Amino acid sequence: MIKSYDSNDYDVIVVGAGHAGSEAALASARMGQKTLLLTISLDMVAFMPCNPSVGGPAKGTVVREIDALGGQMGKNIDATYIQMRMLNTGKGPAVRALRAQADKWQYHEQMKKVIEDTSNLTLRQATVDELIVEDGVCRGLITNTGARYHAKSVVLTTGTSARGRIFIGELNYSSGPNNTVPAIKLSENLEKLGFKLRRFKTGTPPRVNSNTIDYSKTEEEPGDKIPRHFSYETKDEDYLKNQVSCWMTYTNKTTHKIINQNLNRSPMFSGEIKGIGPRYCPSIETKVVRFADKPRHQIFLEPEGKNTKEVYVGDFSTSMPEEIQLKMLHSVAGLENAELMRPGYAIEYDVIDPWQLKHTLETKNIKNLFTAGQMNGTSGYEEAAGQGLIAGINAALRAAGQPGFTLGRDEAYIGVLIDDLVTKGTEEPYRLLTSRAEYRLILRHDNADLRLTDYGFKLGLISEERYSKFLAKKEQIAQAAQAVKKITVHPTKEVQEYLTSIGEEKLKAGVKADVFLRRPKVKVTDIERLTGMHISNERYVREQIEINVKYAGYIKKEQQQIDKLHRQEAKKIPVDIDYSAIDGLATEAREKFAKIRPETIAQAERISGVNPADMAILSVYVQNGRYQKIQH
Amino acid sequence: MIKSYDSNDYDVIVVGAGHAGSEAALASARMGQKTLLLTISLDMVAFMPCNPSVGGPAKGTVVREIDALGGQMGKNIDATYIQMRMLNTGKGPAVRALRAQADKWQYHEQMKKVIEDTSNLTLRQATVDELIVEDGVCRGLITNTGARYHAKSVVLTTGTSARGRIFIGELNYSSGPNNTVPAIKLSENLEKLGFKLRRFKTGTPPRVNSNTIDYSKTEEEPGDKIPRHFSYETKDEDYLKNQVSCWMTYTNKTTHKIINQNLNRSPMFSGEIKGIGPRYCPSIETKVVRFADKPRHQIFLEPEGKNTKEVYVGDFSTSMPEEIQLKMLHSVAGLENAELMRPGYAIEYDVIDPWQLKHTLETKNIKNLFTAGQMNGTSGYEEAAGQGLIAGINAALRAAGQPGFTLGRDEAYIGVLIDDLVTKGTEEPYRLLTSRAEYRLILRHDNADLRLTDYGFKLGLISEERYSKFLAKKEQIAQAAQAVKKITVHPTKEVQEYLTSIGEEKLKAGVKADVFLRRPKVKVTDIERLTGMHISNERYVREQIEINVKYAGYIKKEQQQIDKLHRQEAKKIPVDIDYSAIDGLATEAREKFAKIRPETIAQAERISGVNPADMAILSVYVQNGRYQKIQH
Ligand SMILES: Cc1cc2nc3c(=O)[nH]c(=O)nc-3n(C[C@H](O)[C@H](O)[C@H](O)COP(=O)(O)OP(=O)(O)OC[C@H]3O[C@@H](n4cnc5c(N)ncnc54)[C@H](O)[C@@H]3O)c2cc1C
Ligand SMILES: Cc1cc2nc3c(=O)[nH]c(=O)nc-3n(C[C@H](O)[C@H](O)[C@H](O)COP(=O)(O)OP(=O)(O)OC[C@H]3O[C@@H](n4cnc5c(N)ncnc54)[C@H](O)[C@@H]3O)c2cc1C
């Protein structure tokens, strides 16, 4: 029998030091709350069990948002990347995306060091077995060594460790990611506390030794020369000079044949894996089956770090038996003689159905208990970190007796992510995509600071120094925006020649610089050169002016939609409304409303399976103020 | 059911990439054998689950021996240390010892990288479940993913993972070191194959956050200014400039009281742990009980790396409940407010009784199967690495059809270690101590290259380039030795003043430099200065001359003992002798001989419990050539 004992008390306790937990704990400690971060293994803090990279479409924007709110992920990847690339530079600003290849072990080491050096924060290796809950309020928790910690609020971020089970073909065994010990008892405790858990699964591809790849058969993807960073605080002079390359190759008919012939040995197809996998990060076997007519699929060869020969075989996630994985690998151009270092595997784990959460990520069921990350049904480091930050902020606010903090769908991808989770739940590991955001042109990676730094500062997560720099930048943007409205571009010979050179029609008469700037290829610097007038020296200021001017029409349209959204959001639904008392609601809508308990009319509208008639009934009912409370 | 499949064939397969397995695999691959290294987690290659340091008395000499034989440990620590210190500089050359504090994660990363970059060597993550044995010969093995690998020889180095079980007070659970998954099935297989296994245990102390230590209450131990290295190949200019310090503090009466009051909660004292612990690395609770009258015990505070605040609380190993560990820690000066990062724990694991091995580390039972490291009943990284190197060399020689390689007790600490293991077995985790060596003045750290480089070169583990440098050094030593015999030191005024200044008697007449050098404080450079004659520019050459001259008498005595040993070793005992047929042997001697099956009269003599009368009978019996074979 484990004897339990009273250990220290904390304001906030965070369970799990993955990507979610690290952000949560740092935010809480930086907000002045005495914080404890407990995790199963200190050697796996902010560990990347899958792709050694951060960013990409939507996800990269989340990293910027985290940074603007005073989180750590952007700074951490800026300190440890080995390649940086801006994706989709040819496309519009809404889908441009920064992506960095990480030195996976340095990323871990750096995050751990930052945590160790943060005041108010204690990092400790421990496995949490049980929550202390009294009258529906979470008061702390108990670890496997018997330590009883009390706290004002608790954040759970258990990732893929909760009752984790690894699958490689016919082989399966109880394990956390990367052959670490799993957490078993906490899941049992959550079920006893009334939470609905479900099984999800995710997978990772094999790793191979770089020295055994024939790169001549692959296509190189080098890093960018132009310096770019995730954090708004990182300086251009710190941009990494010697970047490593990634490489691209393809599956082929032989690969697909090997997969098809062995589907019966895949635990995903044989039915051994019950957990539901991520639609947007499918295994290679799923892709081959789902897109049977595609002759080939891209594969990325990504180095896992500076000081290792391990290479991640991106987009080749699989839970096939090792024997088949080897055959699959060796059928690919460049990998004919590749030496396998680690086989791919799938992992099944427990998640909490996220409709059990509020927008603050507090559970509806138990007060002062927050959950974040993969355990809320998402997939991806960035999604985890974004949630972790919000949960950590709210846990800290709760501990300080202050009201909660939430982000709207119109303010941040993080807002979209959380609203999707709590409003719609998720039937599979949820991944952020640009298509999930209604206001893509407003939720850009380049303006995350403009959208969110004010919040970060008010929360105490952005320093005075950084904030005053931010205000200066805002001021510069305002000035530059004024400048382009005032400057006139005249149809001089030079201007006309320039327009011809970029394939644009000549000017008929002088125009204001902002009108001139609407032409797609025109840059602010061109206007400065042609007119001799000064607009801004700052590349990030010029970028804002260019985007705001060129996309003004679209942005305005999105802004109008947002205004409408705000009106709907202003219509709050009373917390204790009794849906069974509303006449005329369709059964499905009634059940969904009762389960999800939307906070506003806007949120109710977004619940899937709710039709306009139901919304009309609900709106009228709420607006009349004639609602009934649930009978306790 | 796991389907097994035929994977590649190898010359040599090594199981486990700890300190033993890394050396074994590197040696085998460098000797030209196609080698496979399988290990449970690639993130734990050459991982240090306990003290983040390499070297110390006897152990440091082993590292030098490994280096002289062409092994990796010396180079790896030279590339990743954060502090280097020569211990016992005030004492004789036999006990001087180099010791380095490691950056534990860099040590792992560096060793993994070297392995990844070695040709003929494949590193793969896999758990070995079963050996393939046919007619008493090991032919390969099978992993948990069903891969069937064939090989000419196999080396097992399973460390503390074999049926590992972690203990922290009343808590215990199945686990490898550091919360990794343990290996269960291989132990069962070894038992089925007829090996006698037993349970040993070892323990590790808590780790605390450096920022929470009050160093003003402790004593600093800085690194050395004089450059020294483990590898004979490392250059002085690479000596680390910014070294970190270690710190020393003590337990006290309160600490001891806390321990004594809670002994019933220690799994070592309550009887929960059945495995036997290391006598020379005892837990703090064992020390407090065993040395009840000692008022305090030293504690060392050792940083775990450059980029972390984790500090190892050396000599404070414990498996007390976490609650008690905290109290114990906080009772120590400087640690009053220390934040625990990881609790200490004990781990119980399977070892193979080492009398089941030959001096080549091949098992007597199963041909072509070798074992090395902690699983042979030792404790310590260096002991593991030394054995790993010998096992790897022998596995490679076997694969190449060549005779085995062994080291005598007079040649190396590694020889002492292995002979102790196979001749005496061990009742507890075996640790090397200088007192275990009979010929301490010959087995010095400074002459490991002179003792062993020839072997390393002949085995193909030392490059031509390094070997010719080594020969040049040997030549320089010979010349310098000649020089000191020839040079005369005259009783000049300068010489007499010098002697007075070092507190020595004046010369009566001129003497040869070697006689002059026998005076304890005289250095070769003093003689060069006083006589104007050249002896050597090389500090390592001068060092040899000084030691050889000053300790000539002792060294000669040891050499005579070694000659006697060699005569006894020349008396081989036939492999298939039938001890039951020898009249007059005491029962205990007969049983021990039959179990251990000594290879020579010298080895038979070292078996504990064998008395001179038995030896006389055995010697006569063997010398007469009238022996009987075992009846099969
Ligand atoms: C095999 C695999 C493949 C993946 N593939 C992809 C992919 O293709 N695409 C993608 O976007 N994402 C993928 N992921 C997901 C990605 O790893 C996660 O989204 C991300 O790590 C989630 O961060 P997190 O903080 O929620 O959880 P984690 O990073 O898993 O961290 C959770 C932490 O909590 C600790 N913990 C758990 N329970 C306890 C407890 N009871 N007490 C104390 N500590 C506890 C764990 O030890 C761990 O350190 C994959 C993950 C795995 C394991
Ligand atoms: C908690 C703890 C405390 C210790 N305290 C001390 C101390 O105070 N003093 C001291 O000198 N030494 C101590 N040690 C011992 C030291 O760690 C070992 O002596 C040293 O690591 C042994 O090296 P090795 O190569 O034999 O084994 P390890 O370093 O343990 O390496 C064995 C490797 O084999 C792998 N493996 C095991 N089984 C299989 C399998 N079936 N298939 C594939 N791979 C497998 C493991 O994963 C591991 O990587 C301690 C060890 C631990 C765990």
> CA A334, CA B425: separation in Å to the nearest integer?
51
Q: In whole angstroms, how far apart are CA A340 and each of A46, B9, B275, B399?
A: 25, 15, 37, 24
Q: Read off the pLDDT band of A626 (50, 70, 90).
A: low
Closest Cα in chain B, distance from residue A243 (Å):
19
Tell me which range, A274-283, B130-139, B178-187, is most confidently predicted by mean pLDDT.
B130-139
Averaged pLDDT for residues A90-100: 88
Which tokens is B93 given? Answer: 């050359």
pLDDT-derived band of residue A629, with 50, 70 and 90 as boundaries? low
Give the separation between CA A372 and CA A156, rounded to whole angstroms: 6
Q: Are A46 and A79 in contact (CB under 8 A)?
A: no
Three-state secondary-structure class, residue A210: helix
CB of B123 within 6 A of ligand 2: the answer is: no
pLDDT tens string A542-570: 999 999 999 999 999 999 999 999 998 88
What is the rounded CA–CA span in Å between residue A123 and residue B618?
A: 63
Q: Give residue-wise pLDDT tens across range A122-136.
A: 999 999 999 999 999
B3 and A179 in contact by Cβ < 8 A? Answer: no
pTM over 0.90: yes
Q: Which residue has the tokens 């020649």?
A: A497
Separation of alpha carbons A341 and A209, rounded Å = 6
B55 Cβ inside 6 Å of ligand 2? no
CA atoms within a 13 Å half-sphere pointing along the CA-CB vector of B326: 15
Question: For residues A360, A365, A369 and A373, what is the CA-based torsion angle, rounded to 10 degrees?
Answer: -60
Q: What is the pLDDT of residue B321?
A: 97
Q: Which of residues 38-77 of A touch B (CB under 8 A)?
A: 40-43
| Ligand 1 atom 21 nearest Cα | A381
Joined tokens for residue B195: 């090996």
Q: What is the rounded radius of gyration, in angstroms, for the C-alpha atoms of chain B? A: 26
Q: Answer yes or no: is B21 a known binding residue.
A: yes
Residue-level pLDDT at A627: 64
> What is the full DSSP assignment across A244-293?
PPEEEEE--HHHHHHHHHTGGG-TTTTT---SBPPTTS--HHHHHHHTTT
Residues B368-386, mean pLDDT to the nearest whole number? 98
Q: Does the structure show a pLDDT above 60 at B284?
A: yes
Strand-by-strand arrangement of the B81-87 sheet: B53-55, B97-102, B81-87
Reported as a pLDDT band with limits 50, 70 and 90, residue B226 is very high
pLDDT mean over A378-402: 98
Residue-by-residue DSSP string for A218-239: SEEEPPPSS---SSTT--GGG-
pLDDT at residue number B623? 82
Q: What is the pLDDT of residue B281?
A: 85
Which member of B109, B145, B207 has the closest CB to residue A307? B109
CA distances from B533 to A170, A496, B486, B487, B537 (A): 77, 88, 10, 7, 12
Is B282 marked within a binding site?
yes
Q: Reduced to 3 states, what is the DSSP secondary structure of residue A479?
A: helix
- Ligand 1 midpoint to CA A160 (Å): 4
Average pLDDT of the residues in B276-281: 85
pLDDT of A145 higher than 80: yes
**Torsion angle, alpha carbons of B423, B424, B426, B430, to 10:** -70
pLDDT, tens digit (0-9, with 9 covering 90-100), for A449-494: 999 999 999 999 999 999 999 999 999 999 999 999 999 999 999 9
pLDDT score of B178: 86
Q: How far apart are CA B196 and CA B193, in angstroms?
A: 9
B297 annotated as belonging to a binding site for a ligand: no
pLDDT at B537 over 80: yes
CA nearest A405: which of A153, A133, A69?
A69
Digit-coded pLDDT (tens) for B145-177: 999 999 999 999 999 999 999 999 999 999 999
Strands B511-512 and A147-156: unpaired
pLDDT band at A631 (very low <50, low <70, confident <90, very high): low
Evaluate if residue B52 carries a pLDDT over 80.
Answer: yes
Report the pLDDT value the prediction gives residue B632, as an integer from 0 to 100.
Answer: 52
DSSP string spanning A283-330? -HHHHHHHTTT-S--EEEEEE--TT--EEEEET----S-HHHHHHHHH
> Is A429 annotated to bind ligand?
no
Name the average pLDDT for chain B: 95
pLDDT higher than threshold 80 for residue B579:
yes
Q: Give the nearest ligand 1 atom to A45 CA.
A: 49
String of DSSP letters for B522-546: --HHHHHHHH-----S-HHHHHHHH
Hunting for tokens 């559970």 — which residue is that? A363
- CA distances from residue B190 to A495, B196, B359, B362, B631 in whole angstroms, order as listed: 85, 8, 20, 14, 26
Residues B217-235 have a mean pLDDT of 97
pLDDT at A148: 97
**Measured CA distances, A606 to A367, A418, A429, A553, A603 (Å):** 25, 13, 19, 26, 5
Lowest mean pLDDT among A384-393, B56-65, B596-605: B596-605
Say what percent of chain A tops pLDDT 90: 88
Report the chain B residue with the minimal C-alpha distance to residue A112.
B308
Give yes or no for B171 touching A (CB within 8 A).
yes
Partner A contacted by B170 (CB < 8 A): yes
Do B622 and B607 form a contact (C-beta atoms < 8 A)? no
Q: How much distance in Å is there from the Cα of B44 to the middle of ligand 2?
A: 10
Among candidates B104, B60, B101, which has minimal Cα distance to B82? B101
Given a contact cutoff of 8 angstroms between Cβ atoms, the answer to whether A368 and A3 are in contact is no
Is pLDDT of A536 > 90? Answer: yes
Task: Please write the tens of the pLDDT for every residue from A22-34.
Answer: 999 999 999 999 9
Chain A's closest residue to B319, CA to CA, is A145
Quick one: closest CA in A to B344, which residue?
A125
User: Using one digit for the tens of pLDDT, what is the confidence trace for B557-577?
Assistant: 999 999 999 998 889 999 889
A198-257 pLDDT per residue, tens: 999 999 999 999 999 999 999 999 999 999 999 999 999 999 999 999 999 999 999 999
Nearest-neighbour CA in chain A from B219: distance (Å): 23
Interchain pair B146, A169: CB under 8 A: yes
Reported as a pLDDT band with limits 50, 70 and 90, residue B627 is: low
pLDDT at A628: 65
CB B603 within 8 A of CB B423: yes
Residue in A533, A558, A359 with CA at minimum distance from that of residue A444: A558
User: Can you tell me which atom of ligand 2 is nearest the CA of B379?
Assistant: 19
Average pLDDT, chain A: 95
Q: Which ligand is nearest to the CA of A278?
A: 1
Phi then psi dihedrals of residue A527, to 5 deg: -65, -40
Q: B233, exposed or middle or buried, with CB in 10 Å at 0-12, 13-18, 19+?
A: middle
pLDDT exceeds cutoff 80 at A1: no
